[in-house]
Amino acid sequence: MFLNIAKNSLNEFQSNVSQTIYLNKKEAAEYIGVSFNTLKKFIDEGLPIIDVSGIQMIRRQDIDVFLESKIK
C-alpha cells in the first residue's frame, strides 16, 4: 500500500516537473543542483534568461543546451 502511494506521488511529481517550461532562478538552481551564486556565474557565461517587466525566468531547455555545450 505504501509503495503504491509512493509510486503515485513520484509519478505525479515527475508529471508536474516536466510541464514546467519556465523556471525562476531559484527553481533553475535546484533543477541543476547548484547554488544561486553558481547559477549567476552561468548567466554571466551566457545562460540565456528571459526578463519581462523585471521578472527573470529561465527556460528548462536553455539550461539543458547550455550545460550540454560545456561538455568537453
In a domain? residue 64: yes
Half-sphere exposure of 65 (CA within 13 A, CB side): 10
CATH of the domain at 29: 1.10.10.10
What does the mean pLDDT of the chain come to?
Answer: 88
In a domain? residue 69: yes
pLDDT of residue 5: 77
For the stretch 1-34, pLDDT in tens is: 666 777 676 667 666 555 679 999 999 999 999 9
8 Å CB contact between 58 and 25: yes
- Between residues 71 and 6, the one the model is more confident about: 71
Q: Which is nearest to 32 in space by CA: 1, 4, 70, 5?
A: 70
Grid cell digits, residue 38? 553558481
Domain tally, the chain: 1
Distance from CA of residue 23 to its chain's centroid? 6
pLDDT of residue 22: 95
In a domain? residue 72: yes
Could you list the residue range(s) of the whole structural domain that residue 58 is in? 21-72
In a domain? residue 40: yes
